[in-house]
Amino acid sequence: MGHCWGTCLASELRYNQRMRIIVPQGTVDFDSLGALVGGFVLENDTLPVMPEAFTRQCKALVAVYWHKLPLSPRERWWDDDKQRWRVPLWQRMTPGVDFLQSLQMTKWLQAENRPLDGLFASLLLLGVYASTNHLDSFSMVDEVHGAVDYLVKKGADEGFAQHWLQAQGEQARPLPRFVSGSLSDEDASLAQIPRWQSLLMEAVCQAARDGGAAVYLAGGMVRDLFLSRPSHDLDFIIDGEAIPVAKQLQHTFGGRCVFHRPFGTARWEIHEALPHLLAAFPQFADIDQNDLPESVDMISARTEWYPKVGRLPQVRLDGIELDMQRRDFSINTLALRVDVHPCQWMDVCGGRQDLAAGIIRALHPRSFVDDPTRLFRAVRYEQRLGFSIEVETLRWMANGKVMLPMVSGDRIRHELDLLMAEDQPADVFRRLHSLGLLAALVPGWGWQEKKAALFDALLQNPLPPGWQIPGINHLSGKEFGAYALLLVDYPSSIIWAVSERLLFSAEQQRQLWLLLDVLEKQENLRWLSASKFTAALEGLHESMLYVLHHLWQDDAELSEKLAAFRKIWRWQALHI
C-alpha cells in the first residue's frame, strides 16, 4: 500500500481480492480497520463489502456524524505507479458520506486544478446506524456509487475519538453533548410566541396526539425564541409521520392539504378551515386574522445524506435527534416539544452555548461540500444576528466554496434573493465579497463600496409616490433592480457571465443591456430634446427606471428629465 498505511495493515487485518474485509478472531483494532478500508479504497477505487461481524462490533464505535473535529492540511504525494496525486483518506472523508463520492470529488478537484489540502475531515469513523431497532442496517444503499449508510446516532465513544485524534497529532476537542430542559407557561421565551402561532400549535398538537406523534418547533423559530426575537418561521417537526397529521387536520377542521411524499412533508392550507379553527378554540377568537399565514408546513423528522455534491439530499424518516443533526448550523439545531406540558426543549449540538457566545458554527467539516448554499446562509445569519462565524467554520467555508460551480443557478439566485431581503443588504454583500463568495460564482465579480448607500436605499426605502414596480420573471422589481445596480460599472464580459450563471431570462438580460446602453450615453442625454430623451429610454422596464432614479438622484437635470419622462413624455405621441 505504501505511505503510512503499511504498519496498520500489517497489524490485525487483511483483505482479499474479492473486495471483502477479513476480520480475524479476537478484538478488532478499529484504528487499523479504518486504515485498512481507507488503504483498500485508495488502491482499488472501490468500496469493500463489510462483514457481519463488523456490524456487531461497531456498536462500541457508534459516533455522531455531526461531531466537530479539527482539519489540518496534510501532505499529498505523487504515486508513480498510479500516475496520480495521493491524499490521506482522513483528509477527504467524513461520516455520512460514501467512499466513492469522495473519490469522485477528489478527482474533480484535481482535474480543475483546485487545492486538495484540508478539504475533508481529519477523522474516519466507521459506524452503523445503531438504534435499538436498526442495529443490522449497515448496508449498501446506492448500487451505482456504492454508498454506505453511515447514519449514526447520538452517544459517541468520545474516548475513542480523543484517542484517535491524539494518535494523529491533533488537539483533541470535546464533542457537543445532548442537553434538555423545560419551559413553564411563565417563561419569557414562550411569552414571545404570538397568539396566532399559539392557535396553530394547539390545532397541530391535537391532531398529532390522535395519531400518537410528538410535535416539535425547531430551527429558526426556537432560535429566535431563545434570542427574544420575533419569528414568523412556524415549521412543525413531527416525530412520527407528518402526512397523517395533516390528513387529521383536514378531516377535523377542513382546508386543503398538499403532500410531498419523497420528503415526508405536508402543507395544510388553512383559509377554508379558519371558521372551524376559531370555533374549536374560542380563546383565540379575538386574534387578527390578517396575521395568519396562508398555510402551515409540517415535516416528518428525518435524516438525510447527499448522493452528489450540490444536489438535494436523499432522506429517510427517523427520530427528532437525528433530524436536528442534519441541519446547517448549531444555532438551528434547537427543538421545542410543544405537545406536552410544560414544553420540553432539547439541544443536540451545543446550539444554546453558541447562541450565548454569538457564533455561527457548522456541524462538521463536510457541511459546505454537501450543500454549498450553506455558505450564503452562514453570512445571512451572521449579519442578521450580529454574530461572528467561528474561525474553524470560516476555514471549512474557504474549502467548500470551490464546490459552488456544482450548484444550479436557480439555487444560487434564491440564496442571493434572501440576502437582499435582510435589513442591511449592503453589509451582507460586503461580507460575501470579503469571503470571496461573489468571485467564486464569477471570477472578477465583487462588491463596490461606492454603491453601498444606493443599494440599501433601493432595497429598503419605501417606493416614492407615483412609483409602482412590477416584477419581472420571478424576481420582484426591486430585486432585479438591485442585481442591475450590482452589475453596472463592470465589463460586459462579467455582466454576461453573471447573468448566465444566475440564469437570468432573455427579457432580464435584454433589460440589463438596455440600461447599460443608457448609462453609456448619459452625458449626452442631458442635452437631448424631450422626444429624443424618450426614444433613448424607450423599452426600459420600470425596475430599470428605478435604478436610474437612484443613480441620477444627485444630478438635478437628469432627475428632472427622468421624472418628466415617467409622468408625461412617454405617454405623449412625440416624434423625433
DSSP string covering 335-388, please?
Answer: EEE-SSSSEEEEESSSHHHHHHHTEE-BSSTTHHHH-TTHHHHHHHHHHHHT-E
pLDDT of residue 293: 85
Find cell 460564482 and name the residue: 441
Give the model's confidence band at 552: pLDDT under 50 very low, under 70 low, under 90 confident, else very high: very high
Please give the distance of CA 329 from its chain centroid, rounded to a whole number: 9
What mean pLDDT do residues 243-262 have?
91
Please give the distance of CA 376 from its chain centroid, rounded to a whole number: 8
554: left (phi over 0), alpha (psi -120 to 50) or beta: alpha
C-alpha pair distances (Å), 409 with each of 187, 413, 501 = 44, 6, 6
pLDDT of residue 189: 62
Please give the distance of CA 561 from its chain centroid, rounded to a whole number: 45
- Taking the C-alpha atoms of 99, 100, 101 and 105 in order, what is their torsion angle to the nearest 10 degrees? 110
Whether residue 394 is predicted with pLDDT greater than 70 in this model: the reply is: yes
Distance CA 418, CA 349 (A): 26
Give the model's confidence band at 350: pLDDT under 50 very low, under 70 low, under 90 confident, else very high: confident
pLDDT of residue 252: 92
Q: Mean pLDDT check: name the lowest of 38-52, 105-119, 422-436.
A: 105-119
pLDDT of residue 82: 54
pLDDT of residue 502: 96
Whether residue 138 is predicted with pLDDT greater than 50 in this model: the reply is: no
pLDDT of residue 341: 82
C-alpha pair distances (Å), 498 with each of 108, 112, 436, 446, 548 = 23, 20, 15, 11, 21
**Residue 98 contacts residue 146 (beta carbons within 8 Å):** yes
pLDDT digits (tens, 9 = 90+) for 273-291: 888 988 999 888 888 888 8
- For the chain, the residue count is 576
Average pLDDT across the chain, whole number: 72
pLDDT of residue 229: 86
Whether residue 196 is predicted with pLDDT greater than 50 in this model: the reply is: yes
Distance CA 367, CA 300 (A): 22
More confident residue, 574 or 407: 407
Q: Mean pLDDT check: name the lowest of 216-220, 440-444, 543-547.
A: 216-220
pLDDT of residue 308: 60
Whether residue 566 is predicted with pLDDT greater than 70 in this model: the reply is: yes
Cell numbers describing residue 464 = 416614492
Distance CA 134, CA 131 (A): 5
Give the model's confidence band at 573: pLDDT under 50 very low, under 70 low, under 90 confident, else very high: low
pLDDT digits (tens, 9 = 90+) for 453-490: 999 999 999 999 889 999 988 889 999 999 999 999 99
DSSP secondary structure code for residue 20 in this structure: B
pLDDT of residue 477: 92
Whether residue 17 is predicted with pLDDT greater than 50 in this model: the reply is: no
pLDDT of residue 20: 35
pLDDT digits (tens, 9 = 90+) for 45-82: 444 444 444 444 333 333 322 232 222 333 444 556 65
- In our burial notation (b when 16+ CB lie closer than 10 A, e otherwise), range 551-561 reads bbeeeeebeeb
Whether residue 190 is predicted with pLDDT greater than 70 in this model: the reply is: no
Give the model's confidence band at 160: pLDDT under 50 very low, under 70 low, under 90 confident, else very high: very low
pLDDT of residue 305: 67
Give the model's confidence band at 238: pLDDT under 50 very low, under 70 low, under 90 confident, else very high: very high
Q: In this structure, is the dihedral angle defined by the CA atoms of residues 21, 24, 27 and 33, taken in order, positive or negative? A: negative
pLDDT of residue 386: 96
Whether residue 321 is predicted with pLDDT greater than 50 in this model: the reply is: yes
pLDDT digits (tens, 9 = 90+) for 333-344: 999 998 888 888
* First CA to last CA distance, the chain: 81
Whether residue 100 is predicted with pLDDT greater than 50 in this model: the reply is: no
Whether residue 550 is predicted with pLDDT greater than 50 in this model: the reply is: yes
Q: Mean pLDDT check: name the lowest of 86-95, 365-374, 524-533.
A: 86-95
